[in-house]
Amino acid sequence: MLFIGLAILIAGLFALLIASDAGSLIGLTQGQFGQLVFLVLVLVVIAAGGFGRRVRAGQMLSGALMWAAIFAVAIGAYAFRDEFQYVGGRLLGELAPGNAEILEGGAVSVRRSFGGSFRVDGTVNGANVRFIFDTGASAVVLSAADAKRAGVDLAQLRYSVPVQTANGTGRAAPVTIGEITIGGIVRRGIHGFVAEPGSLDTSLLGTTFLETLSSYRVANDRLELMG
């Protein structure tokens, strides 16, 4: 049968490549290369089951070309898996900005968005809030809308502290934030501010929260917060 013969041909080619240390040519170890061989052969054999009838020479050639293309794509995808993972991560960072990944040990990792900033999803007093990671902010600063959803009584605030925001100079009211949660990191009694209505669109994750962490760092377009 066509596909049995093709499977034998591919198996022979792989065996020859592995014997010649082909793994080092495409960035795979011999063990990894052998695993990929097995996977491709399984796919070929499964597909062969659907083509038990006799085929003409033209169909044989088309089938052989199709499987050669599949083989090439499989090799290319595996060899460049790190690059695909990076691009996929950047796309996820843009499509789902702020999505926090909890790492081993309780650390939190967030991808940089295409806009260049780190948008971090968390909660304030149980209400969902999207922050911008900002080491230039001396404290956590909540927008008026986020503060209201977090249960802060805006009518009781005094906007007495001048602050610089993306919209220019504004004023903010000092508050003590009951609870901030980012991933699995929970902090209570954080000093912060609430910006006066209309002066801040997105809340800022500033130093009064960051200084409670054991460490934080930015590397390879990832922000990592270590509790």
* Nearest CA-CA partner of 118 in 126, 104, 107, 108: 108
**In this predicted structure, what is the pLDDT of residue 123?**
95
Confidence of residue 23 (pLDDT cuts 50, 70, 90): very low
- 145-204 confidence digits (pLDDT tens): 999 999 999 999 999 998 766 566 789 999 999 999 998 899 999 999 999 998 899 999
Q: How many CB atoms lie within 10 A of CB 158?
A: 9
Element (H, E) at 102: strand 101-102
Whole-model pTM: value is 0.58
Running DSSP on this structure, what letter comes out for residue 5? H
Helices (H) and strands (E) in the chain, counts: 6, 11
Tell me whether residue 136 is exposed, middle or buried, using C-beta atoms within 10 angstroms of its C-beta: 0 to 12, 13 to 18, 19 or more.
Answer: exposed
CA dihedral of residues 142, 144, 147, 151 (deg, nearest 10): 170
39-72 residue pLDDT tens = 655 555 555 555 555 555 566 667 667 766 776 6
- % of residues, the chain, pLDDT over 70: 56
* CA atoms of 145 and 164, how far apart (whole Å): 18
Least confident of 69-73, 110-114, 217-221: 69-73
Q: Which helix (H) or strand (E) holds 44?
A: helix 30-48
Q: Which domains does the chain have, with CATH numbers?
A: 2-79 (no CATH), 95-226 (2.40.70.10)
CA distance 82 to 146: 38
pLDDT at 89: 47
User: Residue 145's closest CA among 198, 106, 102?
Assistant: 198
Q: How far apart are CA 146 and CA 152, in angstroms?
A: 9
The Cα 142–Cα 196 span in angstroms is 9
